[in-house]
Amino acid sequence: MKKLLFIFLIFFSNSCKEKEELIGDWKLVEFMRDNEIQNELPNFPITYFKKDNLVIYFEKLMSYKIEGDSIIFSQATENKNEIFRMKIEITDENNFTFYYKRQVTNNLNDSTYLIPLYSKWKRIE
């Protein structure tokens, strides 16, 4: 029984630690589109992670949850069914990367394709 309790405490402390690492204000420092790092950064707004599982992402208040190597965003105030998921890699306490794919539709030839993207973020000190 002690072993089971010990394993649970380790798991619980590790899951809380990841969330705590994100709390703060973050700015975009690198952006890659279609496997090519962009020289000019897009004008992304600052992202604010709060203690109560809230985040201000692209100037929208959302809730977030980390599950394994993914972060799940959902609308905090409006339609909670509207969610999206991205892969997150927490490099250290001051850096993380989002990995995701943007779906693009070409109406001229009725084709849809995915563009791989990533964005690297750094904590604002």
| Residue range 51-61, pLDDT digits in tens | 889 999 988 89
- How would you class 49 by CB atoms within 10 Å of its CB: exposed for 0-12, middle for 13-18, buried for 19 or more? buried
CATH of the domain at 69: 2.40.128.540
Q: Identify the DSSP state of 34.
A: T
Given this model, what pLDDT does residue 79 score?
62
Given this model, what pLDDT does residue 119 score?
94
For the chain, list residues with pLDDT below 70: 1-20, 77-81
Domain that holds residue 97: 2-123
Tally of structural domains, the chain:
1
Given this model, what pLDDT does residue 13 score?
47
